[in-house]
Structure 1
Amino acid sequence: MTVSYASQTEIVRGFLARTYSWMSAGLALTAGVAYMTAQNEGFAMQVSQLYLPLVLLQFGLVMGLSFLAPRLNSVMAGMLFIVYAAVTGLTFSSLLYVYSPDAVISAFLSTAGAFGLMSAVGYFTKRDLSGMGQFFLFALLGLFVAMIVNLFMGSGLLAMLISGVGVLLFAGLTAYDTQKLKALALSGISGEDAERAAVHGALALYLDFINMFLFILRFFGIGGSDD
Structure 2
Amino acid sequence: MEALQTRQRSMFQKVLWVFAVSLLFATAGLYTGRFVPPGLMMPLMVAEVAMIIAAFWLRRRKSVGYLFVYAFTFISGITTYPVVAYYASVAGAEVVLLAFGSTFGIFAVMGTIGAVTKRDLGFLSTALLVALLALIFIGIFSIFSPLTPTGLLACSFIGAIVFSLYIVYDFNQMKHHSITEEMVPLLALNLYLDFVNLFINILQILGIWGSDD
Q: Do both share a fold (TM > 0.5)?
A: yes
Is 2:15 aligned against 1:19? yes
Letter in 2 for 1:140: L
Identity within the alignment, %: 27
Give the direction of change, closer, same or farther, for the CA distance of 1:174–1:143 in structure 2 (3 Å limit): same
Q: Report the counterpart of residue 167 of structure 1 in structure 2.
A: 160
Q: Report the counterpart of residue 186 of structure 2 in structure 1.
A: 200
Q: Report the counterpart of residue 198 of structure 2 in structure 1.
A: 212
How far apart in 2 are the matches of 1:70 and 1:138?
Answer: 21
- After TM superposition, the score normalised by the length of structure 1 is 0.83
Preserved contact between residue 115 and residue 171 of structure 1 (Cα < 8 Å): yes
How far apart in 1 are the matches of 2:40 and 2:142?
Answer: 25
How far apart in 1 are the matches of 2:96 and 2:80?
Answer: 11
Q: Between Structure 1 and Structure 2, whose CA radius of gyration is higher?
A: 1
Preserved contact between residue 33 and residue 79 of structure 2 (Cα < 8 Å): no
Give the drift of 1:128. 2.3
Q: Report the counterpart of residue 134 of structure 2 in structure 1.
A: 142
Give the direction of change, closer, same or farther, for the CA distance of 1:22–1:166 in structure 2 (3 Å limit): same
How far apart in 1 are the matches of 2:84 and 2:132?
Answer: 26
Q: Report the counterpart of residue 221 of structure 1 in structure 2.
A: 207
More displaced 10-residue stretch of structure 1: 58-67 or 8-17: 8-17
More displaced 10-residue stretch of structure 1: 143-152 or 124-133: 143-152
Give the drift of 1:153. 5.3
Q: Report the counterpart of residue 154 of structure 1 in structure 2.
A: 147
- Provide structure 1 residue ranges, at least 5 long, that are not aligned to the other structure: none
Letter in 2 for 1:206: Y
Determine helix, strand or coil for the equivalent of 2:163: helix
Preserved contact between residue 153 and residue 208 of structure 2 (Cα < 8 Å): no
Give the drift of 1:8. 4.7
How far apart in 2 are the matches of 1:153 and 1:85?
Answer: 27
Give the drift of 1:108. 0.7
- Cα root mean square deviation, aligned: 1.9
How far apart in 1 are the matches of 2:176 and 2:99?
Answer: 30
Matching residue within 53, 67, 82 for 1:79: 67
Give the direction of change, closer, same or farther, for the CA distance of 1:184–1:149 in structure 2 (3 Å limit): same
Preserved contact between residue 69 and residue 77 of structure 1 (Cα < 8 Å): no
Give the drift of 1:143. 2.0
Instruction: Note the alpha carbon deviations across 1:135-184, whole angstroms, 9 max, x for none.
Output: 11111122223334445152222211111110110010111111112223
Which runs of structure 1 show a deviation greater than 4 angstroms over 4 or more consecutive aligned residues? none
Matching residue within 26, 29, 39 for 1:30: 26
